[in-house]
Every structure is written in structure tokens, then in C-alpha cells.
Amino acid sequence: MRERKDHRQTTAIVYAYVASCAVWLLLGSLYGVILAWKLVYPDALTIELLSYGRIRPVHTASLLLGFLSLGLTGLAYLVVNRTAERPIWSPALAFAGLALWNGALIAGLVTLSLGTTRGPIEYREWITPVAVVFAVGALINGLNILLTLIRRPVPELYISNWFILAGFACLPVLYLVAYLPAFATGSANIIIQGYYMHVVLGLWFTPLILGITYWALPILLDKPIYSYGLGVLAFWGNLVFYSLIGAHHFIFAPTPWWLQSTAILVGLGMMVPVWASTGNFLLTMRGSWRYIRHEPAGWFLLSGALMYGLASTQGTLQAFRPINLLVHFTNYTVGHAHFAAYGFVSFLLFGAVYALVPRLTRRSCPKALAAIHFWLALVGLALYVSAMTIAGVRQGLGWTSGAAFIDSVTAIAPWYLLRAIGGSLMALSHVVFAFNLWCMRPHAIRAAAVAAQRAPA
Ligand code: HEM
Ligand code: HEM
């Protein structure tokens, strides 16, 4: 009886988080598509609410803090519940965390749309009260997960939980440093900006998605992870190297040269944890290719693991001064950002949702629709990233050759069009994902919907 109650509660929490994540994914994608087409047709949609400067931060906040953070936290609750073999410490706190995050995201959407921001500080555009509400939600979720794990009856702490705890431990530190007024001006602000940008990616999204994958993959393939030791190496490598990497965002900026050099070198060090995890995932899949071939969840996990290795290697290379000189300020970085945040984190997240949610709700979506989601997302991403990579190199070559700036603008117009087409395919794939998630809804929601349909008008 208690077990059934625990299962019901966990299902409700996980599904509520993942459903919210899908809503923010749809909204963020819509804004992304508008952004991309606006760069093709700059005179379209000239109303203030949809001006480029306003909707760009709405796009990044909805997708990074809404889609990714909510989806990752929902699945983290599931991993913690299953591996700790005990109910979530407080379901009420989990729902409070969700309400705070959704509240902050809605407030962020409204304030940014009205043009109210903290200033031109990328990814930290939300005004402070909105950021504080988000931070309180993060603290509540972190505490809930920590207390669930502390009270676990099993002695061992599965590797996934190391990653998840690290993510929730790093986020408050990151927030505190990033929002302290002491570092808000001059070159300190540049250093903190770089620190914030990369630590939020490397010590929030990355540990959470790695932790989830270290559990989702063995569950999908019904076998243990290839090497626990490689997982531990990846964990410590991520923790040590990622925290020192931020200054690579501002190579040649007026920040100390030694700081930039350290960040570049540490980027090289990142290859150890990155390929430790990528290799671990691929070696776990070895021998299961027949199964993976027929399983869209496996396609997402395989592509996500590969893109983790590839996008991170691309990042390491682009930090080197000769390459950075060419591609900094160009669309090449936008290509890298989507290759990593979408190809790595989002693909693994989609794979984990398809692998875990049906096992939880005992309801799956048609395999053909999951396959359509996968191919639209993959083809869309390939068009997006290749268009931005070519456009970025073309811009860099034009600028360093001393040609007139306008030449680079006209030269990349076709690549902007290709990006808009690729991005639209990605957005379409998200509509399919949302429908698939609806098919996987827990029984209670479905029963309520059927009852509502049958009720006399
Ligand atoms: C070893 C791992 C990685 C390294 C060394 C690396 C390196 C870099 C560098 C050097 C830049 C700045 C380029 C420039 O402006 O000149 C950058 C930008 C960026 N990276 Fe990575 N990257 C790595 C992994 C990742 C991952 C895993 C993600 C996503 C989860 C990611 C997302 C981004 C984003 C979003 C930006 C754009 C930031 C902005 O708005 O300026 N990177 N990366
Ligand atoms: C659904 C299709 C998408 C489209 C059409 C799209 C389009 C865009 C566009 C046009 C920009 C602005 C680039 C600029 O100002 O030059 C942008 C920025 C960004 N988007 Fe997306 N996006 C999409 C999906 C996503 C997803 C799913 C994520 C995260 C998981 C994401 C994360 C980002 C980030 C981090 C940036 C800032 C990159 C930088 O400054 O280097 N996008 N996106």
C-alpha cells in the first residue's frame, strides 16, 4: 500500500515537472523561430513586444531555465527516488519548487517582454526579485533531494546521485557569486559573466544530465554501466576543471592574460571527463546495437552521448587563441551553443524521457511518433549547426581580411535562411514531443480526461 502511494506521488511529481518542461520548450522554441526568421526578414513583426532585444533573453531563459532546468529536475527526482529506494522526502516541497520556478519563469517572461531587465548582462537579464524566486525554488529542490538521499536505507550512493547533488550544490554558489553587487562593474563583471555562463552549463546542466544518463542508459538496456570507475573519474574531472574555465569566453578581453591562458589549458583538461563519460556510455551500448536500432530512446541517447564528446571538443578548440581570433563575436559560437545545449543536453534529456517516463506511467507513445521527433530534431539541428558554423567562419575571414563589414552581412544571408529552416524543423519536433508526452500521461490524468469527456454537457 505504502509502495503504491510512493509510486503515485513520484509519478505525479516527475510528470508535473516534465510536462512543465515541455510547455517552456514550446514557448522558447516559438521565440527561437521568430528570432531566426527576423534575421532573415528584419522588417517583419516590428511591434515592440517582439523586438529582437526583448525576445532573445526570453528565448534563452525559457529554454535554459524553463525547459532544461525543469526537465532535468523532474528526472533527477525519479533517479533519486529509485536509487535511494525511499520516497521523496517531501512531495509538498517538490511541488512548491515547481510552483516557484514556473512563477519566476512567467514573471521573467512578462518583465523581459516589457523591456524591464537588470541591464545588458547575457543570461542574467531577469530583474533581481525574479532571480531570487528562482533561487529559492532551486534551494528547496536541492534540500529535498539531499534529505531524500541522507535518509536512504541502502549504504551505497549510486554515481548518478553524486552528479545530481553536485549540480544542486553548485547552483546556489553560482547564483550568489553572479548576483553579488561587488562584482557588478568593470572587468570584474566580465570575469564573473564568463564564470556564470560556463558554470551554469558545466556545473548545473552537465552534472544533472550526466547523472540522469548514468541511470537511464542501464535501465533502457537492462545491464549495468560499463565502468563505475570511469564515472567517478568523470565526476571529479568535471568538478575540478569546469569551475576554472569561464575566462575562455573573453579571450583578448581586458582581463588578466594568465587567467585566459589558465582557462584555455583547463579546457584541454576537460577532454578527460568528457571522453570518460562519452566512452563509458558508448561502451555500455556495445553489444546492444540490435536493441538500440529499434528504439528511439536509444537513438537519442546514442546521438546525445556522441554530441557531448564532439561539441565539447569543438569548445576546447575554439578557446585556443588563433581559432578564437577568427570565430569570436561570430555566429560560429551560436552554432556551438546549440550543438552543445541541444545536441548534448537536450538529446540526452529526450532520450531519458522516452526511456524512463513510460516505465513510470506504464503508458508509452507510438514508436513512429518518437522516431519522427528524433529525425526532425536531428535534421533540424544539423542544418542549424552547419549553417552557423559556415556563416561564422565566413564572418571571421571577412573581418580579419579588413573587408567592409557589410560584405560579411550580405555573404551570410543564405546561411541565416538555412538556420531558420533548420530551427523551424527543431521547433516542429517539439510539437511532436509534446504530443508524445501527452500519450505517456499517468493513468489518473487520462481517467479524469475520459470522465470529463463522458460527462453530460
Ligand atoms: C570542454 C567543454 C567546453 C569547452 C572548452 C567550451 C568552450 C567554449 C568557448 C571557448 C566559448 C566561447 C566562444 C567565444 O565567444 O569566443 C563557448 C561558448 C558557449 N558554450 Fe561552450 N564549451 C564546452 C562545452 C559546452 C557545453 C557542454 C555547453 C552546453 C551545455 C556549452 C555551451 C556554450 C554556450 C551556450 C556558449 C555561448 C555563450 C555566449 O552566449 O557567449 N559549451 N564554449
Ligand atoms: C527550436 C529551435 C530554435 C531556434 C530556431 C533557435 C534560434 C536561436 C536564435 C536565432 C538565437 C539568437 C542568436 C543570435 O543572437 O545571434 C538563439 C540563441 C540561443 N539559443 Fe536558440 N534556438 C532554438 C532552440 C534552442 C534550444 C532548444 C536551446 C537550449 C536547449 C537554445 C539555446 C540558445 C542559447 C544558449 C542561445 C544563445 C547563444 C549565444 O549567444 O551564443 N536554443 N537561438
Look at residue 181 in the predicted model and tell me its pLDDT: 76
Look at residue 429 in the predicted model and tell me its pLDDT: 98
The CATH class of 2-443 is mainly alpha
Look at residue 450 in the predicted model and tell me its pLDDT: 54
- For ligand 2, atom 13: residue with the closest CA: 334
CA 4, chain centre distance (Å): 32
Look at residue 120 in the predicted model and tell me its pLDDT: 81
Look at residue 180 in the predicted model and tell me its pLDDT: 81
Sequence-distant (≥ 6) Cβ neighbours of residue 445 within 8 angstroms: 15
- Residue 193, ligand 1, Cβ within 6 A: no
**CB-facing half-sphere around the CA of 54: CA atoms within 13 A:** 15
* Rounded distance between C-alpha atoms, residue 353 and residue 357, angstroms: 5
Answer whether 0.85 is exceeded by the pTM: yes
- For ligand 2, atom 7: residue with the closest CA: 32
Candidates 342, 58, 57, 36; CA nearest to 201 is 342
Burial of 320 (0-12, 13-18, 19+ CB in 10 A): middle
Please tell me the distance between residue 274's alpha carbon and the centre of ligand 1 in angstroms.
14
The grid coordinates listed for 182 are 561587488
The torsion defined by the Cα of 280, 286, 288 and 294, in degrees rounded to 10, comes to: 80
CB 71 within 8 A of CB 356: no
Look at residue 8 in the predicted model and tell me its pLDDT: 92
In the chain, where the domains are located: 2-443
* Rounded distance between C-alpha atoms, residue 216 and residue 304, angstroms: 13
CA 274, chain centre distance (Å): 16
**3 state SS for 256-323:** CHHHHHHHHHHHHHCHHHHHHHHHHHHHHHCCCHHHHHCCHHHHHHHHHHHHHHHHHHHHHHHHCHHH
Q: Report the 10 Å Cβ neighbour count for 72.
A: 26
Pocket test for ligand 1, best of 196, 199, 240, 249 (most atoms within 8 A of CB): 249
- For ligand 1, atom 16: residue with the closest CA: 328
Look at residue 457 in the predicted model and tell me its pLDDT: 41
The grid coordinates listed for 403 are 573587408
Look at residue 184 in the predicted model and tell me its pLDDT: 76
Please tell me the distance between residue 314's alpha carbon and the centre of ligand 1 in angstroms.
9
Over the chain (457 residues), the average pLDDT of each successive run of 10 is 84 98 98 98 94 97 98 98 96 98 98 93 93 96 97 93 97 88 81 91 97 98 97 97 93 94 97 98 97 97 98 98 97 98 98 98 97 98 98 97 96 98 98 98 68 53
Chain position carrying cell 513510460 = 358
